[in-house]
Structure 1
Amino acid sequence: MSTLRPPRQDRAAATRARLIDAAYACLLEGGYSATTVGAVQQRAGVARGTLLHHFPTRATLMAAVVDDIADRRVRVLSSGTAGPPADGGWDGVVDLVWRDLQSPAFAAALELWVASRTDPELRAALAPVQQRVITAARHAIIAHVGDDDPRVPTLAQFTIDLLTGTAMSRVVDPDADVTVVVQRWKQTLATLSGGR
């Protein structure tokens, strides 16, 4: 009895996904500098030629990982956008944005942001993808608080920026208790938004 093999394009897509997952895992474990073609190849368990067939350069591999990370973050942010504005208001917004910033995908994105400072090719790949994540965050915020108040865009940007900076501060001090900052921002938003 013969076993039917999946079509070639399905196998190719599965291999490509395995390579991207391996690169993502390398980023999380060792950072950008440790995410070499060789490390990804070894982690994915494929031949070098297979990896190079899908991703001829490290830059093309990293561009695919950038897209994958954005997809992961957008899924987290989109989890709060189903249906009408949530009852959580601005507290729900803070919780949703903070959940994204605590995800492994954000940690991987942070690795890429730092590396992009001196890597113009990586920076060019990151810029439009980062915009996609910000757009998803704004849609999620509108799902929580609506868009009828002219303060919403400014408060949304403040929330994203303040919480991103707070999350980044934990890189230097992983034991920092940042919950007080998150709670104080919720209180501040209640005042700035007029109690909405």
Structure 2
Amino acid sequence: MDERPRRTQAERTAATRALLVDAAFACLLEKGYGATTVGAVQERAGVARGTLLHHFPTRAALMVGVVEDIAARRLAVLASDAGPPPGHGWDAVVDLVWRDLQSPAFLAALELWVAARTDDALREALVPLQARLFGAIHRAVTALIGDDPRAPTLVQFTIDLLTGTTMTGMLGPGREQTAVVVERWKETLVTLTGPAL
């Protein structure tokens, strides 16, 4: 006889929502935004259409749920203990940003960014996500290098350069070339973070 306690309605609801969001996330990664339809997510999750529509009445609502999930996944990467300990300077900052940009959550976010260019509701959902992520990155940077008045600008340069490098690497010469850019940027930061004038 099964002695496990029965799940509450709230637990069942949360589990179903998580299943649907996971299915949508997997669709985004494998097939892209255009193919991440309500029907494709329903099929992948193995639920009835009515079940999906009960939790997410529209595709836009489903995508907002995915945006929140992506934010949580990327924040987990930024907060993970896999990186170097505090005090390792700008090399550690570059490694932290690079680790985030190599995660599946970044690839899913990239799909949504492109779609948000012409989708106002999706763009509105992504703006707070970006603010949370940049806030988390800046807090992590402060833990790694301390307060440096140059940090906000250099962090933004790092994010932009490495984001562009990641995207170029998807279509271009591959990982060896992008690794060279990452190392060159680390060397450049040594010069840029020299004594303030």
TM category (shorter chain) comes to: over 0.9
* Corresponding residue for residue 155 of structure 1: 154
* Corresponding residue for residue 90 of structure 1: 90
The aligned runs of 1:165-184 (5 Å cut-off) are 165-173=164-172, 175=174, 177-184=177-184
The aligned runs of 1:36-115 (5 Å cut-off) are 36-79=37-80, 86-115=86-115
Contact (CA 8 Å) 2:27, 2:40: kept in 1 or not?
yes
Aligned-CA RMSD value: 2.0
With the length of structure 1 as denominator, give the TM-score of the two structures: 0.92
In structure 2, C-alpha distance between the alignment counterparts of 1:169 and 1:64, rounded to whole Å: 28
* Corresponding residue for residue 32 of structure 2: 31
Give me the identity figure in percent.
Answer: 66
How far is the alpha carbon of 1:124 from its aligned partner? 1.0
In structure 2, C-alpha distance between the alignment counterparts of 1:173 and 1:55, rounded to whole Å: 37
> Alignment partner of 2:87: what SS?
coil
* Corresponding residue for residue 11 of structure 1: 12
How far is the alpha carbon of 1:80 from its aligned partner? 5.8
Code of the residue aligned with 1:129 in structure 2: it is L
Code of the residue aligned with 1:120 in structure 2: it is D
How far is the alpha carbon of 1:171 from its aligned partner? 2.7
Return closer, same or farther for 1:2/1:159 CA change in 2, 3 Å cut-off: closer
Contact (CA 8 Å) 1:26, 1:40: kept in 2 or not?
yes
With the length of structure 2 as denominator, give the TM-score of the two structures: 0.92
Code of the residue aligned with 1:66 in structure 2: it is V
How far is the alpha carbon of 1:87 from its aligned partner? 3.2
Deviating beyond 4 angstroms after TM superposition, the runs of 4 or more aligned structure 1 residues are 1-4
Contact (CA 8 Å) 1:80, 1:96: kept in 2 or not?
no
Code of the residue aligned with 2:39 in structure 1: it is G
Number of residue equivalences: 193
> Alignment partner of 1:178: what SS?
helix
> Alignment partner of 2:137: what SS?
helix
**Given the alignment of the two structures, is residue 140 of structure 1 paired with residue 132 of structure 2, yes or no?**
no
How far is the alpha carbon of 1:130 from its aligned partner? 1.2
Structure 1 unaligned regions, length at least 5? none
* Corresponding residue for residue 193 of structure 1: 193
Code of the residue aligned with 1:167 in structure 2: it is T
How far is the alpha carbon of 1:79 from its aligned partner? 2.2
Structure 2 unaligned regions, length at least 5? none
Contact (CA 8 Å) 2:87, 2:143: kept in 1 or not?
no
Give deviations 1:9-58, integer Å, cap 9, x for gaps: 11110000000000000000000001000000010110000000000000
Contact (CA 8 Å) 1:69, 1:108: kept in 2 or not?
yes
Code of the residue aligned with 1:21 in structure 2: it is D
Code of the residue aligned with 1:77 in structure 2: it is L
Contact (CA 8 Å) 2:24, 2:36: kept in 1 or not?
yes
